[in-house]
Structure 1
Amino acid sequence: MTKIYRKTATIKAEQFDPENGIVPQGVFDKEYEHTTSGMISAMVDELNTGKPSHNWHVKTLEGDLKINPRDWIATGIDGEHWPIADDVFKKTYAELPVIPKNVAKHIVTEHGLSDLIPICGGIYRAMIQTVVYGYQKGDIGDWIVNHSDVFARAWLDGYTVEEDK
């Protein structure tokens, strides 16, 4: 019987864009060890365009893997890296939502059940006050009502906290 799964780990990722000077740590221009069709193709491209050709790679647990401009370099929970093609990355991953600090302190964290107390007290109280009494512009109920989809994604998937301005 086939079951359906979703990814549960959060990763960090940076897009590789050498033309704009974005070469993440761990990416290197690997020299060709012997003459290959890739090396010949690169030499022909360099002769035609006048631009230096590169053989970009990234170190992974499986060894050095080829990476192309616009690919993404993912970093896993143990610090391991792997390249992901841009189209695959966009279909597979979504950026975590950014939420205000005063909302973040009420969301359950990965630390365990003791964190349910702020949820029961903070979010529950804020939502009841919002429903029963309405809410004031700028309070937590105001933000949750006006950003309910972002709040739900943050609660379920994780989030980053808005930087102080």
Structure 2
Amino acid sequence: MIKVYRKTATIKAKQFDGSQTSLFGYEVMPDSLLDALTGEPAYYSILIDDFEPEPDDFPDDNEVSFEIGDWIVNEADEIKVMADEEFKQQYAELPVIPENVAYIIKQAKKGDYKLGWVFNATYLGLWRVSVGNWIRTHADTVARAWLDGYVVEEEK
């Protein structure tokens, strides 16, 4: 029987918009081939190793090429390029949650409580009204944050 799996590791990724001069610490180099309409470089690349390739190596062994709109992914110290559509099919952003909700998740996990306890405590009114309301109206986001991790919302 074939089983279906999902990736659970977090990655770092940046979408290239043409303005970046470096990605993950590597210098972005424009290609000499220019786009006929804009006059801008059609492709860009980063050199992922600082050594000179041996003559029998493929010329692009240590170079990653990409174009505007592509995603540069740093996964397990490996740099790879993905088209926007392919990237969006494989990866989803971590949910963004308020700091007080992040604190509840952190403390609940530290106390070895389960997610059901967080929701039950919400309906019992154990949290401040604004926090309880946020958890109730964003229950799917809280569950996803509990399972996959989260990013704390920046203060305005």
**Do both share a fold (TM > 0.5)?**
yes
Higher gyration radius (CA): 1
- Separation in 2 of the partners of 1:30 and 1:17? 13
How far apart, CA to CA, are the structure 1 residues paired with 2:80 and 2:14?
A: 11
Q: Quick check: 1:57 aligned with 2:22?
A: no
Gaps of 5+ in 1: 32-38
Note the aligned Cα RMSD (angstroms). Answer: 3.3
| Counterpart pick for 2:123 among 113, 131, 137 | 131
**Aligned equivalent of 1:102:** 100
Higher helix share: 1
What are the equivalent positions in structure 2 for 1:3-152 lying under 5 Å apart?
Answer: 3-18=3-18, 21-25=19-23, 26-29=26-29, 42=33, 48-49=36-37, 51-60=39-48, 63-76=62-75, 78-107=76-105, 115-117=109-111, 119=113, 124=117, 127-132=119-124, 137-139=129-131, 141-152=132-143
Q: Structure 1 stretches (4+) deviating beyond 6 angstroms?
A: none
> What secondary structure sits across from 1:29 in the alignment?
strand
Residue aligning to 1:34: none
- CA distance, structure 2, for counterparts of residue 146 and residue 50 of structure 1: 46
Structure 2 unpaired stretches of 5+: 50-60
Q: Which amino acid aligns with 1:29?
A: M
From the two aligned structures, give the one with the greater strand fraction: 2
Distance 1:82 1:143 in 2: 37
TM-score (norm 1): 0.68
- Cα distance, 1:130 vs. partner? 3.6
| Percent identity for Structure 1 against Structure 2 | 36
* Match in the other structure for 1:155: 146
Deviation of 1:79 after TM superposition, in Å, equals 3.9
